[in-house]
Structure 1
Amino acid sequence: MDALDLQVLARARDWFMAGEAVWLVSVIETWGSAPRPVGSLLAVRGDGAVTGSVSGGCVEDDLVRRVSRGERPSEAGIVRYGVSKEEATRFGLPCGGTLRLLVEPLRATDWLDTLLAATARHELVARIVTLGSGQIELRPAQRGDKPAFDGERFTSIFGPRWRLLLIGAGQLSRITAQMAQALGFAVHVCDPRREYRSDWDVDGVLFEDGMPDDVVVAMEPDAHTAIVALTHDPKLDDMALLEALKSPAFYVGALGSRSNTAARRERLALFDLSGEEIDRLHGPVGLYLGSRTPAEIAIAILAEIVAVKNGVPVLQRPPALAPAHVEASRR
């Protein structure tokens, strides 16, 4: 479900529609210390251009050389790298690492159009390709589904881009937005204050100038959405958090000291939120790194979001935090 893989598919579609020959290359099995996980995707154009990645670079170089030499498979088949220790060294794989790749020619874009449209609607899609025939089938997928290869068919999972909504358009939001985009998040920033709106100029970020709670509702947060309140203004932050904590968003956080966080929890308890919903709040937001500068705080925030996204227990916390929050941060 890497957002970069969706970008690979979109670029491959553009190349094909421009009349170029295109091959898709997927990691279907690994052994040992393989550099990229199963499901990683690469597209190779007929002139040797590539997008995506299946290794640290040397395997990509060899695939390009194969295409340049005229090795252009007309059917979906398997290529193996790193079978021996010598080959692993030659192709830059970690010692003992082995990759098994599915190489398939792109013959049509109808399935690509369907898949990209579905993921844009925040749907999960399983793509099944059959070796030899290259037949492609798309099916709905469930959160937690993994890529799988049964010897004849390879199933890969594609999902919507992870989204991050930042409440507030200050310096911290600017740095966090830039870093989050590098991590593959589609970033939205909301701030109704005119003085902040006029100075926002981060490319690729969708700016929302409505009231934060209205923006949260309109965004329809799902299990691929993180929401972080960064304004320090309870009138803006708290109303957004009220809606966010009731939503399926996988992460909801708010900037503030421990005392401010405790006061915020007391305010939230006055509204129609359950104790369990309030305990979903990550605050003070971010991993405890002793962060002081805006860039350090942004790293701490995004590190915690990535940990929660990946299902890793969040343990790097100051000892003074209440047990209820420590337990909530581990969920």
Structure 2
Amino acid sequence: MMDSIDLDVLKTCEVWVAHGRACELVTVIRTWGSSPRPEGAMLAICEDGRVVGSVSGGCIEDDLIDRVRREGITRTLPEIVTYGITADEAHRFGLPCGGTIQLAIEPLSASSRIGELLKRLARRELVARRLNLATGAVTLGPARASMTLQVSKAALTTIHGPRWRLLIIGAGQLSRFLAQIATGMDYHVTVCDPREEYRDGWSVEGVEVVHAMPDDMVIDMKLDRRSAVIALTHDPKLDDLALMEALKSRAFYVGAIGSRINNARRRERLKEFDVTEAQLAKLHGPIGLFIGSKTPSEIAISILAEMTAAKNGIPLPETMRVEQGKAAMGTAPSHPAQELACGL
């Protein structure tokens, strides 16, 4: 799995603890008003002032570093710290006017169970880490995808692991970029391609590559509201059957590569598979946002940007869709060959 920011924080903590370095794990537990970083964001700080991760735009990090360099790491138990209560503090710490951020600062040791947590994450487990705020004791247990950070006077429970799933149909160059970025976004990524010639040599660390018919894979995965499917093979025999099953599932995002003309033809074919108009309306295609992307890496970013908006429930202006954006720009082709094979 490619390191996400929080995973990199945990790995760095493990190294510092193993080398006997005094260090602390800082977690955003509450925000009020505007805040640069979300709840659950983490930062690790070492006794020499080195930091990994982020809990703000930088100013709170500067204050934490300054305190460690002046006073060292002296905490023996977790502590809750609040920044930005007053307008002056908000200005001082770079928070938007009125913004407030509350942090849990936890001194780490071998009993913090960071190493065990990382082993579970390497097995793609979803883990709830419970920190007793009075004693510093840590327990680890299984978590559900719907669980979120919880804090009380007694304990802080944080959720770690890939809470979102992405199934990519087709092991090509574009899927490699998609998989690399998506793993960094805490997706558990599976690439499905029954074609041996495409699978050979395809490898991204932490991504499972399976030899199966895509529609069977979609059914076996039992897609839920935290699942997404992206079809990239350009082969109707593979893409269409997978899309048919995915559109009937609860997946929050279903998309397919292809030109505007090919997308229209695909929609007509799917109707023949008894896909309803309501189900067909869930299909994103041509896939991605209209940002002028041409290279595989740019296209991957446009796709994941659209998928992120869908995940977060953000409605997008129609002009940001590929089809409408190109039409608005007057780039409608006179022949299908004029459209890029990538579908944008």
Q: Give the shorter-chain TM-score range.
A: 0.7 to 0.9
Whichever residue aligns with residue 238 of structure 1, its letter is D
Query: Which residue is 2:262 aligned to?
Result: 260
- The answer to whether the 8 A contact 2:169-2:233 is kept is yes
Q: Distance in 2 between matches of 1:118 and 1:302?
A: 23
Instruction: Work out the number of aligned pairs and report it.
Output: 318
Q: Does 1:8 align with 2:9?
A: yes
Q: Gapped runs of 5+ residues in structure 1?
A: 321-331
Q: Give 3-state SS (helix, strand or coil) of 1:37's partner.
A: coil
Q: 2: distance between equivalents of 1:129 and 1:174?
A: 37
Matches of residues 1-331 of structure 1 in structure 2 within 5 Å? Answer: 4-68=5-69, 69-107=71-109, 108-110=111-113, 113=116, 117=120, 120=123, 123=126, 125-136=127-138, 145-198=147-200, 200=202, 205-216=207-218, 221-271=223-273, 276-289=278-291, 291=293, 294-316=296-318, 317=321, 318=323
Name the CA shift for 1:156/1:182 in 2 (closer, same or farther; >3 Å). closer
Deviation at 1:23, TM superposition (A): 1.8
Which letter maps to 2:26? V
Q: Which runs of 5+ in 2 are unaligned?
A: 326-344
Q: Alignment partner of 2:52: what SS?
A: strand
RMSD over equivalenced CA pairs, Å: 3.8
Question: 3-state DSSP class of the match of 1:34?
Answer: coil
> Aligned partners of 2:124, 2:274: CA distance in 1, in Å?
29
Within 1, Cα distance between the matches of 2:160 and 2:212? 31
8 Å CA contact 1:4, 1:184 repeated in 2: no
Q: Within 1, Cα distance between the matches of 2:129 and 2:274? A: 41
**Greater mean alpha carbon deviation, residues 239-248 or residues 198-207:** 198-207
Question: How far does residue 105 in structure 1 lie from its aligned partner after superposition?
Answer: 1.9
Matched-pair contact (CA < 8 Å) for 2:23–2:73: no
Cα distance in 2 for partners of 1:15, 1:215 equals 41
CA distance in 2, matches of 1:105, 1:14: 14
Over residues 149-185 of structure 1, what are the superposed CA-to-partner deviations in whole Å (9 max), with x where a residue is unaligned? 4455444344525333322234433443444345444
Structure 2: distance between partners of 1:220 and 1:116: 26
Percent identity, aligned pairs only? 53
Note the alpha carbon deviations across 1:85-130, whole angstroms, 9 max, x for none.
Answer: 444444333344332211112342448736863795554x554434
Read off the aligned partner of 1:113 and give its amino acid letter. Answer: E
The secondary structure found in structure 1 opposite 2:230 is strand
- Check 1:94–1:119 CA distance in 2 against 1; reply closer, same or farther (3 A cut): farther
- Going from structure 1 to structure 2, the CA distance change for 1:11 and 1:111 (only over 3 Å counts) comes to closer
- Aligned-partner residue type, residue 117 of structure 1: R
Q: Deviations over 1:33-91 (max 9, x none)?
A: 32112222122234444332111223223323433432320011122333444444443
CA distance in 2 between partners of 1:233 and 1:245 (Å):
17
Deviates most, 114-123 or 224-233: 114-123
**Separation (CA, whole Å) in 1 of partners of 2:91 and 2:56:** 13
Taking structure 1 as reference, are residues 280 and 105 closer, same or farther at Cα in structure 2, changes over 3 Å only?
Answer: same
- 1-structure distance, mates of 2:201, 2:212: 16
Distance 2:162 2:184 in 1: 16
> Which moved further from structure 2: 304-313 or 267-276?
267-276
Q: Residues 10 and 116 of structure 1 are in contact (CA less than 8 Å); yes or no, is this contact kept in structure 2? A: no
Q: Does the 8 Å contact 1:242/1:268 carry over to 2?
A: yes
For 2:143 and 2:78, the matched residues in 1 are separated by: 23
Structure 1, 61-70 or 71-80: larger mean CA deviation: 61-70
- TM-score normalised per structure 1: 0.75
TM value normalised by structure 2: 0.73
Paired residues of 1:3 and 1:161 also in contact (CA < 8 A): no
